[in-house]
Amino acid sequence: MAEAKTAPDTGAKPAAAGDNSVSLKTLYHDMLLIRRFEEKAGQLYGMGLIGGFCHLYIGQEAVVVGMNAAQKPGDQVITAYRDHGHMLACGMDPKFVMAELTGRQTGYSKGKGGSMHMFSAEKEFYGGHGIVGAQVPLGTGLAFANQYRNNGRVSITYFGDGASNQGQVYEAFNMAELWKLPVVYVIENNQYAMGTSVERSSAETHFYKRGSSFNIPGEQVDGMDVDAVREAGLKAIGWCRSGKGPIILEMKTYRYRGHSMSDPAKYRTREEVTAVREKRDPIDHLGQKLIAEKLASEDDLKAIDRDIRQVVNAAAEFATESPEPAEAELYTDVMA
């Protein structure tokens, strides 16, 4: 599916971390960490330990892991509310992420943000936003700051197929191209916005073309193939870093779970979900490839899973044992 459409050949030589050096096995690990973390989050939600909205990233892991491998330290990430995967990929600690999900003092936002609103200044993760589309101008603003400072950094701005119809996305697109801002717009096209399929919401369903009236190039990528994502990410980030302005990557992906924990997902058939799970699962896919190419053994993969389960269980334990925020925190951080 990785149909390169109007992809620019940047010719930019990838360097440092933003290159092909991260091993496939590491990418496997990073995707599986997200998968297991999300499964655990779903479980804690079922137990009433996580409240409110909780949007799981299961099925989409290859997108954020592939992109992260293509980034360099200093590049910024911003996304919407389906954000746990993005945080884990950029190196945020699963313990503190889980503790935020359970609303504890040890969480990244001291328990005040929750699943949808987490940030890490240290890891250049800018949230965690609940209003569909709002992060797109914000991510464009991060790119503006990069250009202003001429610091060579790139903003990786994620949003969904549904968000792609918000007006502010196009206001941002126009400014980004007009001012040649270094921003990669990653459209995670998981084919649904809540219960609405892209066909029912979008006049143009090829989201990589959404920048065409602003002259922003775009490419469609198989978002279930982590290696394809990394390749596309390297090219796109290179394009931005070399001063050519914004670029769009449309990641064709799929979410296995409901929109949030409370979505019965009656708008698609069980067979549709099963088919993707069985035929296109990004983790299974890479696992098979690792074994086939003798880059890892069955036992290696089992060991990875075992280690990850330990990390995730420890995170859950930490998150359920940490204290709730002190009452005084109600009034802190409102203003500087």
Q: Which residues bind ligand TPP (CB under 6 A)?
A: 82, 130-132, 160-163, 188, 190, 192-194, 259
Nearest approach, Cβ of residue 158 and ligand TPP (Å): 9
Q: 13: which DSSP letter?
A: P
What is the rounded CA–CA span in Å between residue 216 and residue 146? 19
Interacting stretch for Mg ion, rule CB under 5 A, among 32-40, 131-139, 193-201, 238-246?
A: 193-201
Q: Among Mg ion, ligand TPP, another protein, none, what does residue 109 contact (CB within 5–8 Å per kind)?
A: another protein
Residue 190 interacting with Mg ion (CB under 5 A)? yes
The SS3 of residue 160 is strand
Written as six digits, the tokens of 239 are: 């394009």
One of 79, 147, 157, 165 touching another protein (CB under 8 A): 165
Residue owning tokens 């965690």? 128
Residue 145 interacting with another protein (CB under 8 A)? no
Written as six digits, the tokens of 221 are: 């990528």
Residue owning tokens 């997902």? 265
Q: Among ligand TPP, Mg ion, another protein, none, what does residue 287 contact (CB within 5–8 Å per kind)?
A: none
Closer Cβ to another protein, 129 or 235, answer by number: 129
Residue 133 interacting with Mg ion (CB under 5 A)? no
Closer Cβ to ligand TPP, 95 or 129, answer by number: 129
One of 8, 74, 152, 195 touching another protein (CB under 8 A): 195
Are the C-beta atoms of residues 85 and 292 closer than 8 Å to each other?
no
Sign of the C-alpha dihedral computed for residues 96, 101, 105 and 111 taken in this order: positive
What is the rounded CA–CA span in Å between residue 100 and residue 137? 26
What is the rounded CA–CA span in Å between residue 78 and residue 131? 13
The SS3 of residue 133 is coil
Name 137's Cβ contacts closer than 8 Å, sequence gap at least 6.
168, 171, 172
Q: Among another protein, ligand TPP, Mg ion, none, what does residue 233 contact (CB within 5–8 Å per kind)?
A: none
For residue 145, the surrounding DSSP H or E stretch is helix 135-149
Bond preceding residue 128 cis, omega within 30 of 0: yes
**Residue closest to 187 by CA, chosen among 109, 240, 141, 253:** 253
One of 16, 23, 51, 215 touching another protein (CB under 8 A): 51
Q: Among ligand TPP, Mg ion, another protein, none, what does residue 82 contact (CB within 5–8 Å per kind)?
A: ligand TPP
* Site residues (CB under 5 A) for Mg ion, limited to 233-262: none
* Residue 146 Cα distances to 87, 143, 153, 174, angstroms: 21, 5, 6, 17
* Site residues (CB under 8 A) for another protein, limited to 73-132: 100, 102-104, 109-117, 129-132
Residue 66 interacting with another protein (CB under 8 A)? no
Q: Among another protein, Mg ion, ligand TPP, none, what does residue 86 contact (CB within 5–8 Å per kind)?
A: none
Site residues for another protein per CB under 8 A? 39-40, 42-43, 45-49, 51-53, 100, 102-104, 109-117, 129-133, 162-163, 165-168, 193-196, 200-202, 256, 258, 261-267, 270, 277, 305-306, 309-310, 313, 320-321, 324-325, 327, 329-331, 334
